[in-house]
Structure formats: structure tokens, C-alpha cells
Structure 1
């Protein structure tokens, strides 16, 4: 985790914290704003009110915002104010090892429970269906939640309150295809799309399509040959995505490639709109 330490008139404390956290001190008038955009963790040696006012207009989504931890100038207390499950609590625990008192407010951590995000972090993985974490973390508060590891090849049918963890990646590739399209045509279409955006297959978090393609042998084989993970998205989720309608309206969907990619994308940004490659359409989101 890339950590920046910013301060208001406390350079010695900032340097000490940076040394403990293997971070860097950022000193300039817009240090907090700059660190928020360029680092994964921000430690601020200043009043919490200042931090809250400065970051308020910058906050977007917990899955893309950095963790922000406020440290008192006397180095007595450290308070994660943003992204507790996304590095903030980890920073606070590290500082606790140097004598600071962590003030952690995330319910699972405060009660000594596990969370989806921390399980993912321990295994170097990422939550694919991020909206599921609300229900699953709530369940952790009520008791133990089973964790299953499934080594493929396999097909898993999971409801919306089951968190799916996968190896980390930045991009989600949405795929649509005509019925009966050969695996090689789909595989090559995906590779061509990735190459056009200078994206390596190892940077892909997930391949997605509609649940209506659950029996599409060519699609299943193509993703397997790409050594990827295919997630099939239900109709309601696809139709809730903000995309322009496509020919998929004839099967009751607003689209396939673009909305299925957006459904699992962390930043909810389409970086390559749907492109046709013969019988295949591909879109890429992040």
C-alpha cells in the first residue's frame, strides 16, 4: 500500500509516521488533496474537522477512495475516518504496535469479527460482486459465516448475498455473442479487444456476460482457454446499468457486453464501448 503522510505544522511527527509505515511525507499547500488522488492510504496529522472538510468533496466510493487515518499531533491516537476495511484499520493496527491507541469504528472490527474485505486482503484477492459485502458483513456480526474455496474447473451458482473473491485485476471484460459462436472466435475477439487497449490478460479481474449464456459452450470454453473467470449476470442487474440500448432488446435486455462489464466494475467506467468482432461483441470497464 502506497501511504502518504500529510500534516499542518508537525513535520517531525510526520517523518516518524512515514518511517513506521514505509510511507512518504507530502508537504505542499494541497498535500491532502494530492495524496487523496495519488495514494492508497493517507495519514493526516491534523484536526479531524480539517480532514473531513477537505476530503468531503473528493469522496466517491469506498472501493476506489484511499484509506484516510487521522493521527493526533501527540501521537497518542489514530482514527480511521475513511476506508477502514480498505487499509485504514490495517494502518491503525500497525501504529498500535508503536504505542498509539487505535480508535476503530467499523462494526466487525470493533466486535472482533471478520469481514469480507479483510478475508480478501489476507489472501491477496478482490471482491468481485462488491454490493454483496453489506449482507455478508452483517451476517458476520450475527455469527460465523462459512468460507469455501473451490478449485476449478467448476461452475458456481451464487445468490446476491454470497461474496465472490477472485485474484486481483483492474478490468472487467463484457462479452456478447451470437448463439453457437465457436470458442476460438470468441477468444480471439477478446484478445484483439484487450490488445487494442494495451491491456494484458493478467490485468483482467473478470469476464462477464448474461445469465442467458449459461449454456453457451463456445463462451465457456473461450474464457477457460483465456485462464479467466466468467461471471453470468442476472437480467435485473444488467437492465439497471446506465447504458444505451442495443440489439439485445429483442431478448429483453438493455445490452450484454457493456452492462455486464459495468455490473462488476470497481470504478463504474466504460473504457472501451462495445465493439463488434464478427459474431462477438466486447466491452471493457474498470
Structure 2
């Protein structure tokens, strides 16, 4: 099963249920796409009706293949309240529509419906007022930004949002990433304190208080303690300190300490109970951090003058500052030991363990050639990062609640660094490349940057393949890749030309079918002619060549030529050049490379 996006609240399994024999194929598709964890059809034991009753309280969601009326009657006796009921999504047997019947906001049915529709190539039918108006669902959107929901009358907030119509709602974004304010779906919101309007309807803040509050993961707690300190002492120190500063526990991103305490039972139990990740730092890293209250005694014992203050700042990421200097607690009653606690505030928010970085291959450009896996990943992402042209091609799939960030063509490292930074903030990020992200694209650079992060400070990382230009060019041309082939980029921006020449010579000597990427640009207008010269050394001038330009787009053009008469001047950076081997031939406008060489016996 694919990881549950941060936009969906953590709970139990997602059950796929079918009440007719015709539901089986759709349940199989949903299972293969990782959209359900378990499935039951009309003849399975237990029966779907029984499973619905048995798992109602523990399930994360039910995806039911069938009629909305049937499902409504089945779940009606089970309903207890919007804060406790699971999500229910109804899908028709053909996969044309995904309907969030129950728990659209709080339980994540809307987001699940989007993922299902994206994977099946169908449509999510959302009937809520916010979705219909293209506006943020204020009571649920924050999960996609890695936030936790706090106190407040959220039902009244949603009713107020419906009453406001086109009038702006006042919100205060005091902490966390401010990028969400740039969403199309947030255009109706008025951010910032303004005495001329009513009191803010919603806050994004690290503090407790009145009103509806989202709490971004901006606080990191640094902890130090004596060996075998009691769990009760640590809990008392944390709870009293947060309450005394009016800091929301939901705004805590995690705990941090020195690696020598990585086996401390109370620290580990505290982290497990509060569902806070732990980060560990060695003494040398901690000693390099300037702190306000260093301790000579701690330096003698631990090799660093600070544990709590230094660890909190390191864990909180770039630009963090110490919000609260170390507080000391000693054992009371039956407690054992002593502990120190410091609180650091991230520059915006910093929660790598909550984040997801997805490398998405968008294919050649046509939405018809986008894989179901890529569609589902894009649907689940909070932010899309990519070169503007590639994002333009995907724009019909982007919702108003998804942020788009455009980068420049040659600024690959900048795009990768930004995507990784956003993922480290706790967001679900799609870093988009054309074709396949693992072929001359962003996956390698992104992975290198990801690997450079500490192992306990990384977001999750996944690569989602797409149809490459090589594959589509071959499909358009006929069947040129029936034997061994290779790809070579003629761009010497990152690879010395001498190395490229050696590869071309090796390809010619090995009689490979060759796909030439980045063949010719205004600043590199001679390399393709030189490549043709080197390939001619190993195969005849009559060798067929395909020029495939703007593949998968409106201006697509595919033409057949020979290596000896290749029209170099017609080639640009939007063209892929596909050169056959010595056995390839063209006939009736098609290019084919036989599966075996002349004289070979084929079974």
C-alpha cells in the first residue's frame, strides 16, 4: 500500500467492499493501485456487511463499489458523529466517479476521492460548499501542510465560511510556512491582524488560545537527563513547561537529545507515547552550537557544554532560534533523576519525518500518457515544483488547494533544494520532470541532496516513473528497440565532450541502436554533426534515423531519414534523434530493428 498522505488522518485500514459480482474487477484495480488495504466481495467471509459493522470504529475508511443509496442505508445505523466516523467513498463499477459520501473533511474522504479518481482516470464528485466554490476547507486543509488541528468551534467556522459568500474571512498566520496564503483556494482569505474587520476566524499559531487554531510543526524540544530518569519526571517537565508558555503540544514537531542517550528508556517511551520523532546528535555537533547557558559540568561529562539547548536548535532546522532556555526539573516523590528541557522555534516549520518527496515523471506532455501512479501522486501532493513548461502541461489536473512553484530550465539544483526543503517542513511535495524523472532528469540530483541529510532528518523519498521520450519515439516510429540500445546526451554542460565522444565511439563499435538526447541548441550547434561522423564509422550511411520532435504535444512531428543525409539543421533541443543499428531498416514509413542479427536462430 502506498503511504497514507499527511492530508489523511492516521487511523486503521482502508477497506474495499463490493456487494455485487460486478464489483470484483474494480476492487482488484483499487488494490493494485494501493488505494485499499483489504477487500471483501459478495461471496467472501466475512461478508462485506459484517465487515462494515465489525470495523466501523477502527477503520480509516471504506471504499465501496456500488450504489450510493445502498451504502447510505447500510451505514445509517452506524453513525455516531463527524469526529469519530470513518471516511466512506462510493465508486461505481466502471470507475468513472468517486463520491465522498461521509467524512469529506475531517476523515479525509475528499482527499481519498481525489486519489481514487486520479488513479482510475475518473472524476471526484465533491458536493461540499468549499469544494464547489474552489475554496479551502478550513477545518481540514492544514493536514496537507503538516499541521495539527487544535481547539475551536470548527463547525461554526465552516458555517461562517458558507455565510460569508464572497466576503473575505480574516485569518492570522503567525507561525508555520506562509506559502499556503498563495493558494488559489485561499484568495478569499484576508491574512494579518486588522482592527477594521472582525476578530480573526482562524489562527495558524504555536500557542494555545481562543478561536479555531491550526498548529504547525514549529517547536522542537531538546531534552537532557540523568541516567534512568523517571518517565513521570520527563512528562511533568514537558507538560508544565508547555502549559506555562501557552505552547500547544500539537505544535511540537519532535524531541532531540545527545546520541549517548539513544537507549534511555524514559526518553524513548515519552517519544512513543506522544508520537513525537526523536533526533540524536553527537557531542561534536552539539558543542558547535552557541547557547546562552553552557555548563562546564555537562561539558566534562558529555563532551559538550549543552545538550537540551543545542539539540533543540539543531533539530529545528535552518534559521531556528531558541525560544526557551533550558528548564531544570528534579525528582519529586517516587521519581528518579533530573532533566533539562529547552524549546527551539523553527524559522517557519520543520518536520522532516512528516514530509514526503515524490519524483514524478510526467511523460512526454500529453495527459493521456501520464501513468495512473503519477496521477495519484500528483493528486495527493500539497505542492508541485517543476519547470514552468512541464507544469503548464499538467495544469488541468491541479486543484485550487494545491500550490505550484515554477523554476527556470537550467536551475535544476535550486528546484531540487526547494522541493527537499518543503518536504523537510512536513509537506507532501511532487518534484516534476518531463519524461521519466530517472532518465536525464531530477531523480539523481534530488536523491544526492536527500542522502546528504542526516538519516533521522529526512522526509520519505519515492520515484514514480513516466514514459520517456525514447519510449514514445520508438512507439511512433515502429519497433526500433527490439535489440540492444543505449542513450547518450550530447550536452557537454555537465559532461566533458571528450567523454561523450568515447561513448559515441563505443556505441558505434558495439552496433547499438542509439538515442541522442539534447542533440543541438543555439549554443551547441556542431556536436550533432560530430556525433553523426563518429556513428558512421561503425554503420552504413543508409542506416535509418528518426527525428521525433515535441513528442506527446500538439506540435508533434516524427520523420524518417538516413544517417548519411541527416538534416542536422532541423534538429533542436525539443528533438530526440533515434539512430538504428546495422540491421535496422525502414519500410513503408516504419522503422524496425530485427530481434536477431542475420544468421541468428530465433526460437
Q: TM-score, normalised by structure 2?
A: 0.28
Point out the more displaced range, 138-147 or 61-70: 138-147
The answer on 1:7 being equivalent to 2:15 is no
Structure 2 CA distance for partners of 1:203 and 1:114, relative to 1, 3 Å: farther
The structure with the greater share of residues assigned to helix is: 1
Other-structure match for 1:45: 65
Other-structure match for 2:540: none
Task: Specify which of 60, 65, 74 is matched with residue 94 of structure 2.
Answer: 74
Other-structure match for 1:284: none
CA contact (8 A) 1:3 1:21 kept: no
The answer on 1:159 being equivalent to 2:210 is yes
CA RMSD of aligned residues (A): 4.0
Q: Secondary structure of the equivalent of 2:141?
A: helix
Other-structure match for 1:107: 129
Please report how far the alpha carbon of residue 113 of structure 1 lies from its aligned counterpart in structure 2 after TM superposition.
Answer: 0.7
Other-structure match for 1:270: none
CA contact (8 A) 2:95 2:117 kept: no
Q: Distance in 1 between matches of 2:214 and 2:66?
A: 38
Question: Greater RCO between the two (CA within 8 Å, min separation 6)?
Answer: 1
CA contact (8 A) 2:142 2:214 kept: no
Other-structure match for 1:92: 113
Q: Distance in 1 between matches of 2:109 and 2:235?
A: 45
Any gaps of 5 or more consecutive residues in structure 1?
Answer: 168-182, 206-219, 229-286
Q: Distance in 2 between matches of 1:136 and 1:127?
A: 13
Other-structure match for 1:126: 148
Please report how far the alpha carbon of residue 147 of structure 1 lies from its aligned counterpart in structure 2 after TM superposition.
Answer: 4.5
Structure 2 CA distance for partners of 1:138 and 1:147, relative to 1, 3 Å: farther
Q: Which entry has the higher C-alpha Rg, 1 or 2?
A: 2
The answer on 1:200 being equivalent to 2:220 is no
Q: TM-score, normalised by structure 1?
A: 0.54
Other-structure match for 2:368: none
Q: Distance in 1 between matches of 2:35 and 2:87?
A: 15
Any gaps of 5 or more consecutive residues in structure 2?
Answer: 5-12, 41-45, 177-204, 218-232, 241-264, 276-326, 330-339, 345-603
Q: Distance in 1 between matches of 2:113 and 2:206?
A: 39
CA contact (8 A) 1:14 1:25 kept: no
Q: Secondary structure of the equivalent of 2:126?
A: coil
Q: Secondary structure of the equivalent of 1:146?
A: strand
Other-structure match for 2:29: 16
Please report how far the alpha carbon of residue 38 of structure 1 lies from its aligned counterpart in structure 2 after TM superposition.
Answer: 3.3
Structure 2 CA distance for partners of 1:147 and 1:5, relative to 1, 3 Å: farther
Q: Secondary structure of the equivalent of 1:5?
A: strand
Residues 143-196 of structure 1 show CA distances to partners (whole Å, capped at 9, x for unaligned) of 344241437xx9846333x324355xxxxxxxxxxxxxxx99943998xxxx99
| Number of aligned residue pairs | 194
